[in-house]
């Protein structure tokens, strides 16, 4: 826990349009952290500064039904270890439960062991290990080629 900041100073709230530039800056920080410098959002605020966010959206899985995909969860380095990441994730979870979600899908890079452990310590199961699931995607170029495939 960061000793200089009180956790009851932290506000978890729905993101507003006027947050977009601060959230965007955090997205850039996350992209740099994930080494890929290339909806809906929750943000966490500390003394009027956005210090963390989560980006999530609704998904539908034909086996399990309605769920939530938490695409991003990011807390600025200066504010880590204060429980903000947990509060953001808990709020996404609360929204998911209210909407009848059967689960939350989270994708973590293989090298990001600290975050993977952080999630599994709180009950997440690695479907790649337990069910040998692989995450497949069809890129834009391949999509264009595919729709034109006779």
Q: Which residues bind ligand COA (CB under 6 A)?
A: 30, 33, 72-75, 80-86, 108, 112, 115, 118, 121
DSSP helix/strand/coil, 104: strand
* For ligand COA, the closer CB: 57 or 144: 57
How would you list the strands of the sheet with 10-14, edge to edge?
10-14, 41-46, 49-61, 65-75, 104-106
What's the closest the beta carbon of residue 122 comes to ligand COA, in angstroms?
A: 7
* For ligand COA, the closer CB: 82 or 104: 82
* For ligand COA, the closer CB: 15 or 108: 108
Q: Could you tell me the two tokens for 108?
A: 């973590």
What's the closest the beta carbon of residue 62 comes to ligand COA, in angstroms?
A: 25
Please, what sign has the CA dihedral across residues 78, 68, 136, 115? Answer: positive
What's the closest the beta carbon of residue 80 comes to ligand COA, in angstroms?
A: 3
Spatial CA neighbour of 3 closest among 95, 82, 89:
82
DSSP helix/strand/coil, 80: coil
What's the closest the beta carbon of residue 149 comes to ligand COA, in angstroms?
A: 34
């Amino acid at each position: 826990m960061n000793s200089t900041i009180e956790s009851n100073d932290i506000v978890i709230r729905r993101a507003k349009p006027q947050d977009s530039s601060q959230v965007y800056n955090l997205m850039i920080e996350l992209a740099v952290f994930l080494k890929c410098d290339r909806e809906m959002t929750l943000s966490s605020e500390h003394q009027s500064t956005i210090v963390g966010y989560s980006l999530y959206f609704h998904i539908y899985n034909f086996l399990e039904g309605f769920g939530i995909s938490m695409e991003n969860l990011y807390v600025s380095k200066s504010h880590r270890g204060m429980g903000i990441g947990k509060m953001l994730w808990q709020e996404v979870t609360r929204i998911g439960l209210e909407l009848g979600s059967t689960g939350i899908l989270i994708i973590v890079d293989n090298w990001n062991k600290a975050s993977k452990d952080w999630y599994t310590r709180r009950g997440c199961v690695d479907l790649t290990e337990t069910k040998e699931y692989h995450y497949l995607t069809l890129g834009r170029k391949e999509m264009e080629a595919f729709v034109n495939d006779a």
